[in-house]
A and B are shown apart, each in its own frame.
Chain A
């Protein structure tokens, strides 16, 4: 037990003893995870942004002129059953007249002597999580319903937004995977080199009868601590940056940048694992 406590204590003290290598290892963990953390935040917030844009997607369905309010309600009930419809609101002839008057400051009845506007409905489309939204099948189904005169939607815009989002998500994922691989290699090699710099100490310990486990344990603890401290530093910087950005832009946008703590916990877990693997690889070579 006293040996285990000694080895744990040695691992912690080594951080201070080997200041330069500790600084290098923590620095490389910090910078690599800071970049990966930024990508995680961008990726998480791109979902939020696209949800906001998608909530603005509208399909307007205009009914034939002869369709009265009761018939309009029946058609709306029919539309509700279609795939891809999240909600639907009926806009009666009277509502439409009022909207027209609000927008153009003109009373059509005074001008024409009757209300020419038809009954209509506004559809909010259903969004299937992160997958691409395709409105075309819904439009085809709507056009098939009898007494539907016209379906108005911003098809080109929706297609462009969806294509752009799909491309961005793909690029971010590729960059994040690439960065993760580079980070694993860089951190692992930094920790490995920091162990290699202490080869004299290891030879010394071997000559006075230290077992492999006795030599390895403090180095592995040191590697794990490098990972914890480097990632903690990166998480703190990211957290402060997100909070400051939210406070700074609060008056300009209603959009708030999300900071998902689970993503950061993963980040730390990766750093700990890399620190452990790096130090284990380094020490294994020297103990052969």
Chain B
């Protein structure tokens, strides 16, 4: 599903990730942990091919970083549900429209979009907030909306980059429980976090990174 084969990516300031090697299998739940600046976001960006490696190869489903054409990258991203620390919801449209956006990109018709969005909003517990705007919601609700948007196109993988970073511990745990529930239905989840205390008891796999080098996997 996701494979890193001795991947190196270096930013102009010399930071980056070096000789990274790991695999994530279908349906797996993994945490990518490490302090701020360790290279977690770089790994996430390499997975959705916002960055392409200087050395080595990243494989995501049937796509390889060595062979992928630029115009095919949006297609790869359609297999991935992205969740961000800052939620990245569009403030100028309501929750329904935000969640529906990935379906419009793929070209679903109006009825399919309505059915899918309503179903996913029920799943994340936001069905009564469908016509509210992101700025009218709490942080936890915005993150659940972001998960709904990532999930609505039924992706193979959920990539969550510090999804609990802006949330209080109790809301953060609710978000992780929601991701676990999604994972139990077969979607692989890779969640980046620097909050080891929050996740250490959950019993999932850890991939630890420090200064751009994998410490354990």
Residues of chain A whose beta carbon lies under 8 Å from any beta carbon of chain B? 2-3, 6, 17-18, 200-201, 204-212, 214
Determine whether the beta carbon of B108 is less than 8 Å from that of A2.
yes
Residues of A within 8 A of B76 (CB): 209
Q: Is B82 an interface residue (CB 8 A)?
A: yes
What CA separation (Å) do A103 and B109 show in the bound complex? 87
Interface window among B18-26, B27-35, B97-105, B162-170: B97-105
Are A6 and B74 CB-contacts (below 8 A) given A207-B82, A208-B82?
no
What CA separation (Å) do A49 and B131 show in the bound complex? 61
Name 25 interchain pairs, CB-CB below 8 A, sorted by A: A2-B108, A3-B107, A6-B104, A18-B92, A204-B88, A205-B101, A206-B50, A206-B74, A206-B77, A207-B50, A207-B82, A207-B88, A208-B102, A208-B150, A209-B74, A209-B76, A209-B77, A209-B80, A209-B102, A209-B106, A209-B153, A210-B74, A211-B71, A211-B74, A214-B74
Are A3 and B88 CB-contacts (below 8 A) given A17-B93, A207-B48, A211-B71?
no
What CA separation (Å) do A205 and B149 show in the bound complex? 12
What CA separation (Å) do A212 and B82 show in the bound complex? 18
Determine whether the beta carbon of A209 is less than 8 Å from that of B78.
yes
1/0 per residue, CB under 8 A from A, across B186-213: the answer is 0000000000000000000000000000
Q: Give the tally of cross-chain contacts (CB within 8 A).
A: 50
Range class of the B interface residue count: 20 to 34
What CA separation (Å) do A211 and B73 show in the bound complex? 9
Q: Which of B147-164 touch A at CB < 8 Å? A: 149-150, 153
Residues of B within 8 A of A2 (CB): 107-110
Residues of B within 8 A of A209 (CB): 74-78, 80, 102, 105-106, 153
What CA separation (Å) do A6 and B104 show in the bound complex? 7
Q: Is B90 an interface residue (CB 8 A)?
A: yes
What CA separation (Å) do A79 and B101 show in the bound complex? 81
* Minimum-distance CB pairs A-B, first 8: A209-B77, A209-B78, A17-B92, A3-B107, A211-B74, A209-B74, A210-B105, A2-B109
Determine whether the beta carbon of B107 is less than 8 Å from that of A208.
no
Residues of B within 8 A of A208 (CB): 77, 82, 101-102, 105, 149-150
State how many angstroms separate the Cβ of B106 from the closest Cβ of chain A. 8
State how many angstroms separate the Cβ of B21 from the closest Cβ of chain A. 25
Residues of B within 8 A of A207 (CB): 48, 50, 77, 82, 84, 88
Residues of B within 8 A of A17 (CB): 92-93
Residues of B within 8 A of A210 (CB): 74, 105
What CA separation (Å) do A207 and B101 show in the bound complex? 12
State how many angstroms separate the Cβ of B114 from the closest Cβ of chain A. 12
Residues of A within 8 A of B106 (CB): 209
What CA separation (Å) do A85 and B80 show in the bound complex? 83
Determine whether the beta carbon of B90 is less than 8 Å from that of A3.
no
Extra A-B contacts (15), CB below 8 Å, given A17-B92, A205-B105: A2-B107, A2-B109, A2-B110, A200-B88, A206-B77, A207-B48, A207-B84, A208-B101, A208-B105, A209-B74, A209-B76, A209-B77, A209-B78, A211-B71, A214-B105
Determine whether the beta carbon of B108 is less than 8 Å from that of A211.
no
State how many angstroms separate the Cβ of B152 from the closest Cβ of chain A. 10
List the B residue with the shortest CB-CB distance to A207.
B82
Are A201 and B105 CB-contacts (below 8 A) given A209-B74, A211-B71?
no
What CA separation (Å) do A224 and B166 show in the bound complex? 39
State how many angstroms separate the Cβ of B71 from the closest Cβ of chain A. 7
State how many angstroms separate the Cβ of A21 from the closest Cβ of chain B. 11
Q: Which of B111-127 touch A at CB < 8 Å? A: none
What CA separation (Å) do A154 and B105 show in the bound complex? 75
What CA separation (Å) do A249 and B48 show in the bound complex? 69
List the A residue with the shortest CB-CB distance to B75.
A209
Residues of A within 8 A of B78 (CB): 209
1/0 per residue, CB under 8 A from A, across B38-49: the answer is 000000000010
Residues of A within 8 A of B84 (CB): 207
Residues of B within 8 A of A201 (CB): 90
State how many angstroms separate the Cβ of B6 from the closest Cβ of chain A. 26
Residues of B within 8 A of A205 (CB): 101, 105
What CA separation (Å) do A200 and B77 show in the bound complex? 18
Residues of B within 8 A of A3 (CB): 104, 107
What CA separation (Å) do A206 and B102 show in the bound complex? 10
Determine whether the beta carbon of B107 is less than 8 Å from that of A211.
no
What CA separation (Å) do A17 and B92 show in the bound complex? 6
Residues of A within 8 A of B71 (CB): 211-212
What CA separation (Å) do A211 and B76 show in the bound complex? 11
